[in-house]
Amino acid sequence: MAIRERVFNAIITCFKRHGAEVIDTPVFELKETLTGKYGEDSKLIYDLKDQGGELLSLRYDLTVPFARYLAMNKITNIKRYHIAKVYRRDNPAMTRGRYREFYQCDFDIAGQFDPMIPDAECLKIVHEILSDLQLGDFLIKVNDRRILDGMFAVCGVPDSKFRTICSTVDKLDKMPWEEVRSEMVGEKGLSPEAADRIGEYVQLHGGLDLIERLLQDPKLSQNKLAKEGLGDMKLLFEYLTLFGITGKVSFDLSLARGLDYYTGVIYEAVLLQGERPWEEPVSVGSVAGGGRYDRLVGMFDPKGRKVPCVGVSIGIERIFSILEQRVEASEEKIRTTETQVLVASAQKKLLEERLKLISELWDAGIKAEVLYKKNPKLLSQLQYCEDTGIPLVAIVGEQELKDGVVKLRVVATREEVNVRRESLVEEIRMRTSRP
């Protein structure tokens, strides 16, 4: 949790830096709200038991609830973040940070705006967060659903198979092309020729040069959707150049993303492994993903009014698992509390004095603890500080009480000074303020 708090802070700081407000939605949604939004993954949705009343399910992500919230409250314009848990009836894989209950950290921009400006900001955010967290080298892959659909069309995929073939392309980060091809042809019934044509496109990745080349591609350039997508991709890369982040962004035709609701640009950030030979390569895949979904809000509006949206979700559990492994490997000791001082006594029968002193410290805003024993040994009080990392001990004793002082001991150096009672708060603050 201590590591988690650090990561959350970095992410929230970034979201706030980009002017987002925070919202919250309930953990359950009407079952029908979630139905038909997640493609093949819908089977992973947790349902609540029918105990009377509406049929409910646990949220599967934060995007569909956000769209439902916008439609229900007739919001056409918002930039918000939401950090909360989502639920999937999946097979957990602890080391890869995959659980049935896990946090998502979402940032989304809803509203009718000029093309690709909010989209570019989402990629800037991914870049800022992954740089801040110092997770090692990373790459943000970018594609566009319209380019994919155009590509499927010119390769001869029937319209009705676009989404299912898209799901298969999405597996390219986990299986080699040969397996993906055989799923397309075998399970999905695509012609081998169409599959092979797809195979040529999906190996392409690059930057502005590739976009320019594809804009000249004799087949793709004839397809309206693909042309639109490529035009916007060009604009996106121009904005990313202004943000100075094209070095870590790759236009990648193999990126598909599984979810049904994307309509435009899509992206996914992956950590690059084994870059440094002296480090153990960490086996984690994508750590952030998102895209544009311009039709989702309209699905929840009674009049079908559309609110274009683009957003990004940070895959924080994978980030946690990497950082936790790193902390374990380093044997760095992480404090789980922030206590500044332990109020202790050297002799017996001083519980009342300890309680009086700690009460003064709490009221002055000092983070303080006391052992819950009437007559604890000084040694066990000092040991407690060693164990929990408390840096200071305020020791009350008969003589000190008479003199109106408290003995302040620095745990690390064993240095002891007598501090006048009225200066104690100031002294503790000074000695525990971070540089």
| Closest approach of its own copies to the CB of residue 54, in Å | 11
Three-class DSSP category at 38: coil
* Residue 30 binds to its own copies (criterion: CB under 8 A): no
Encoded one letter per residue, x for contact with its own copies by CB under 8 A and - for no contact, window 243-282 reads xx--------------------------------------
Site for its own copies in 362-421 (CB under 8 A): 362-363, 365-370, 372-374
Report the C-alpha dihedral over residues 123, 23, 109, 245, rounded to 10 degrees. Answer: -10
Rounded to whole angstroms, the Cα distance separating 13 from 3 reads 16
Which member of 7, 11, 23, 67 binds its own copies (CB under 8 A)? 23
Phi–psi pair at 400, nearest 5 degrees: -60, -40
* Residue 2 binds to its own copies (criterion: CB under 8 A): yes
User: Number of C-alpha atoms within 13 angstroms, CB side, residue 258?
Assistant: 11
User: Number of C-alpha atoms within 13 angstroms, CB side, residue 185?
Assistant: 15
Q: Quick one: which segment of 32-40, 207-215, 357-365, 410-418 binds its own copies (CB under 8 A)?
A: 357-365
| Closest approach of its own copies to the CB of residue 336, in Å | 4
Which member of 3, 6, 10, 18 binds its own copies (CB under 8 A)? 18
**Is 104 one of the annotated binding-site residues?**
yes
213 versus 374: smaller Cβ distance to its own copies: 374
**Is 62 one of the annotated binding-site residues?**
yes
Rounded to whole angstroms, the Cα distance separating 294 from 276 reads 40
Which member of 61, 128, 144, 183 binds its own copies (CB under 8 A)? 128
**Which whole-number Å values give the CA distances from 181 to 167, 192, 259, 271, in the listed order?**
12, 8, 20, 26
Strands (E), 88-211: 101-110, 138-144, 205-206
Which member of 48, 93, 175, 272 binds its own copies (CB under 8 A)? 48
| Closest approach of its own copies to the CB of residue 359, in Å | 5
1 versus 94: smaller Cβ distance to its own copies: 1
| CB distance 236 to 249 below 8 Å | no
Rounded to whole angstroms, the Cα distance separating 305 from 297 reads 8
| Closest approach of its own copies to the CB of residue 222, in Å | 28
* Residue 347 binds to its own copies (criterion: CB under 8 A): no
**Is 108 one of the annotated binding-site residues?**
yes
413, burial (CB in 10 Å: exposed 0-12, middle 13-18, buried 19+): exposed
Helices (H), 246-336: 296-300, 316-330
Strand 138-144 relative to strand 265-271, pairing:
antiparallel
Which member of 336, 347, 383, 399 binds its own copies (CB under 8 A)? 336
Whose structure tokens read 């603050």? 429
| Closest approach of its own copies to the CB of residue 275, in Å | 23
| CB distance 233 to 211 below 8 Å | yes
| Closest approach of its own copies to the CB of residue 200, in Å | 35
Residue type, 320: F
User: Number of C-alpha atoms within 13 angstroms, CB side, residue 189?
Assistant: 5
Binding-site residues for L-histidine, in ranges, read 61-63, 88, 104, 108, 257, 261-262
Binding-site residues, in ranges, read 61-63, 88, 104, 108, 257, 261-262
Residues found near its own copies in the complex (CB under 8 A):
1-2, 4-5, 16-24, 26-28, 46-51, 53, 58, 79, 85, 87, 89, 101, 109, 111, 113-114, 117-118, 120-121, 124, 128, 239, 242-244, 336-339, 351-352, 355-356, 359, 362-363, 365-370, 372-374
